[in-house]
Amino acid sequence: MSSATRHFVRVSSKLLDFHDPEIHFATTVPHMALRNLGLMKALLGLSARHLSLGPATTELDGREYIIDRNLAVQYYLDALDYLNTASYPHSLDLVATAILISTYEMIDGSNRNWERHLKAVYWMQQSQANDGESGGLRSAIWWAWLQQDIWVAMQERRRVLNVWNPTKPVSTLKPPELARRAIYLLSQCVNYASKEEEQSDLTSRLDKGGELLFLLQQWHDNLPPEYRPLTCCSSDDAVFPPIWVNPPSYAAALQMHSLAMILVIVHRPSAGGIENYRAAQQMLAGALGTICGIARSVDEDDDAANMISLHCLFRAGICVQTLRERLVLLDLLDLCQQRLHWPLISLRKELELEYAKDTFSGPST
């Protein structure tokens, strides 16, 4: 087995398996790739590109293994050739190849290609009638795809491509299913914050915002004990005290739930009144504290958890008003980005440019 294959099974696959307790990308996909050259090229391309982001990898025999980015590009181009010439549009191998290619483009920073292939994955899944409740690898691919589309949609302030709605009541969901439901709820709140829905009339915006806040609260009310923070030592006066929730996928679900709440509150028209304002500010503070507190506790070698923290910190950062909190959030953002070696542009600098547009309110006390 090549070093790139081992890296995919042990490391890169976690970017896609993070919310899948059956870890289909680490277990099922490599076996599928053994009989499908296009899928194998996509697997090797993603793994090689992921390896090229960081320092040299030490092999089991002690040798250092350095990946040439050009090798990753060649694997990627070979996989694209397969995707463009495949004659089996309803093949699960094909949609698995496409999601690996889109993940490559995500970490490569090829935003235009990334979105193009996210759309391709969407149409492939539509043709195969795949959704979040299909089960097996089909569902695993669907949830990995939706999460990627959420990040692109937020960046462009567009609606997500998904039109599917879950059928299971939230009260019947098992803990891993609740984590995936948080992804779905975030997608609905991304839609609410989109430019398309911003054009709705005031009454519709207020009603839809209220409906989303109800669904978010309903999700939170149904959380089992596994989602409760474990004991974590911290100073009482710390800005955003650490919050440790295990497993990390449940912690990330809480972050995405908090980001969803922030999106609704920020984009919902004001209902007026000092009490409504105070309630909104209190919810924003709680959501921000959850995102930052969990980001403080993320393991440095957990790329999937760091990536979700990075996205949530960056999107929630615009709501931070005090200088002290902004500095802490910027440091957390920096830390996650350094661990991931991604993206190439500094998100800290982008957020600092946003902060420079207004006046700091001063350090909190």
The structure tokens listed for 324 are: 């002290």
The answer to whether residue 157 is domain-embedded is: no
Asked whether the beta carbons of 263 and 193 are under 8 A apart, the reply is yes
Range of the domain at 39: 1-152
> Are 271 and 324 found together in one domain?
yes
In a domain, 357, yes or no: yes
Per-residue pLDDT reduced to its tens digit, 155-169: 999 999 999 999 999
67 and 171 fall within a common domain: no
Q: Give pLDDT tens digits for 7-45.
A: 999 999 999 999 999 999 999 999 999 999 999 999 999
The domain tally of the chain equals 2
pLDDT, residue 111, reads: 75
Q: What percent of the chain has pLDDT over 90?
A: 81
Per the domain annotation, does 225 fall within a domain? yes
pLDDT interval class at 364 (50, 70, 90): very low
pLDDT at 88 over 90: no
Across 65-79, 148-162, 206-220, least confident range: 65-79
Examine residue 158 and state whether it is found in any structural domain, yes or no.
no
Among 101, 122, 152, which residue terminates a domain?
A: 152
State the DSSP code for 65. Answer: E
Same domain, 246 and 128: no
The angle subtended at Cα 320 by Cα 317 and Cα 323, nearest 5°, is: 115
Given 86, 118, 152, which residue is the final one in a domain?
152
If DSSP codes are grouped into helix, strand and coil, which group holds residue 230?
Answer: strand
Domain end position, chosen among 121, 152, 183: 152
Judge whether 288 lies within some domain: yes
Residues 238 and 315 in one domain: yes
Q: Band the pLDDT of 361: cuts 50, 70, 90.
A: very low
* Lowest mean pLDDT across 2-6, 85-89, 205-209, 226-230: 85-89
Smallest Cα–Cα separation from 65: which of 39, 83, 47?
47
Whether 1 has a pLDDT exceeding 70, the answer reads no
Share of the chain above pLDDT 70, in %: 92
* Over residues 295-309, mean pLDDT: 97
The predicted model scores a pTM of 0.93
Are residue 235 and residue 119 in the same domain, yes or no?
no
Evaluate whether residue 319 is within a structural domain. Answer: yes
Q: Are residues 99 and 246 in the same domain?
A: no
